Amino acid sequence: MNRSPRRRVLAASLSATAAVLAAAGSVLLTAGSADAATTLGASAAATGRYFGTAVAAYKLSDSVYSTILDREFNMVTPENEMKWDATEPSQNSFSYSSADQIVSHAQSHNQRIRGHALAWHSQQPGWVSSLSGTALRNAMLNHVTQVATHYKGKIYSWDVVNEAFADGSSGARRSSNLQNTGNDWIEAAFRAARTADPAAKLCYNDYNTDGVNAKSTAVYNMVQDFKARGVPIDCVGFQSHINAQSPVPSDYQANLQRFANLGVDVQITELDIEGSGTAQANTYATVVNACLAVARCNGITVWGIRDSDSWRASGTPLLFDNSGNKKAAYTSTLNALNAVPPTGPTTGPTGPTNPTDPPPSSPTTPPAGAGCSATVTLNQWTGGFVATIRVTAGSSGLTGWTAGVALPGGAAITNTWNATASGSSGAVNFTNVSYNGSVAAGNYTEFGFQGTGVGPSGTPTCTAR
């Protein structure tokens, strides 16, 4: 089997008993609802999810835009800047300045990054059109490898392949120059991406796959086949561009769930809903609730901030109006996030999974008394790791917390989210950020970090502040 470095999922946790799991389950039911957060990112984080937006580099200097971005969102997707035409304008000559600008903005504002998109039939640079066969296959693989390597360790999930299936009832692959290089081009792209950046979740991303239909079933069959054969795939992105011609399907949630049942995460990757007022607000709530009801739905990304930022601006499909004011759709989205329905957040590890890995284990929660307790879930591979720490409030609730881990010699933290780290090696303390210091009694919040070397073992310390 051609696969990435072996990864182990370790849970430094107490032995799981049905009773403890049941108790943990009841925590999941209440997480987020006791302490309604006031921004999309914080509210999503309270459910173990993210809330993201597409970002255009040239708009970062617009203060209305960047103020909303940095207040509301904790995940960003470069809208065009990581695409093939932007990153490799001439063959083997790479241009990362606009994408780097978004990445560095995100990193300095506690936002994670969805990479979009490594291999796609659209927005290819001109030089690609003269290639075919092996030359095109190799150029595509080189592109995947170079770009994923440039951003290695900085990407939460990559849209490795975008929009490779045809619309309509055929269930066929889209005819394209990439498809003409052989039906295995998709798995070849995923393998190259895994080798280049083993920490990133690798997603297949498409539109008109939001309900159960011939196109989504064709994608489903591909994912099932990939999982069976050990082709590295971790997630499926559902773009969810909604309008009158393409309404939210009644089986939207069921469709997300059937993919999750294959053992992949699901993500809503490019959400926009044309319309206005209450109808639009209700549709946003429907989509948010569907994600919240699927444990493996990691989060939601809207495709722009203000209506005027949208590729479909005339349809006013976003959460903020042209002046940056919150719309009714914003309020319904926030309210839905703050009223977590009774399925709870995902409890799996944040990193990639593979069929041969041990099943991901959820940390059980040791008694916290009046203070707090912490557990770690570790996704370890050769040379690196992602650690997810769960901080659980004791009987008094928390207004701030510090969790500590001891990293073995040679390990170094490269990236932290939802907490501030005191250092990058040895004994490291993590303190809450502004939006996750308050945790009601018995509830929990999660933060994470990524590093090189071997991740922490043992039970983290936890102190109420």
Interface contacts to ligand G3I, rule CB under 6 A: 79-80, 122-123, 162, 207, 239, 270, 311
Query: Among residues 104 and 122, whose Cβ is nearest to ligand G3I?
Result: 122
C-beta closer to ligand G3I: residue 96 or 311 = 311
Q: Give the whole-angstrom CA distance, residue 194 versus residue 351.
A: 12
**CB nearer ligand G3I, residue 123 or residue 132:** 123
Active site residue 163: yes
**For residue 406, which of 390, 393, 387 has the smallest C-alpha distance?**
387
Nearer to ligand G3I among residue 53 and residue 365 (C-beta): 53
Smallest distance, Å, CB 138 to ligand G3I? 24
Give the nearest distance from C-beta 342 to ligand G3I in angstroms. 33
Output the CA–CA distances (angstroms, integers) from residue 337 to 292, 395, 400, in the order listed.
Answer: 8, 24, 22
CB of 3 to ligand G3I, least distance (A): 28
- Name which of 162 and 392 has its Cβ closer to ligand G3I: 162
Rounded to the nearest 5 percent, the helix, strand and coil shares of the chain are 30, 25, 45
Closest distance to ligand G3I from the beta carbon of 123 (Å): 5
Cα–Cα distance, 459 to 43 (Å, whole number): 27
Peptide bond into 117 cis (omega under 30): yes
Selection from 376, 364, 366 nearest residue 456 by Cα: 376
Report in angstroms the alpha-carbon separations of 304 from 47, 208, 278, 395.
22, 19, 20, 41
Residue from 163, 187, 274, 446 carrying the catalytic annotation: 163
Q: Quote the CA–CA distance of 362 and 438 in Å, as a whole number.
A: 22
Question: Minimum distance from CB of 241 to ligand G3I (Å)?
Answer: 6
| 256 vs 428 by CB, closer to ligand G3I | 256
Q: How far apart are CA 382 and CA 44, in angstroms?
A: 31
Strand (E) or helix (H) holding 114: strand 112-120
140 alpha carbon, distance to own chain's centre: 24
Whether the CB-CB separation of 75 and 89 falls below 8 Å is answered with no
Q: Which of 79, 81, 88, 270 is catalytic?
A: 270
Instruction: Give me the least distance between CB of 351 and ligand G3I, in Å please.
Output: 25
Distance CA 402, CA 420 (A): 9
CA dihedral 292, 293, 294, 299 (to 10 degrees): -10
Minimal distance, residue 175 CB to ligand G3I, in Å: 18
Closer to ligand G3I by Cβ: residue 123 or 243: 123
Length, in residues, of the chain = 465
**Which residue's C-beta sits nearest to ligand G3I?**
311
How far apart CA 105 and CA 277 sit, in angstroms, is 32
At 323, the amino acid letter reads S
Which residues carry out catalysis?
Answer: 163, 270
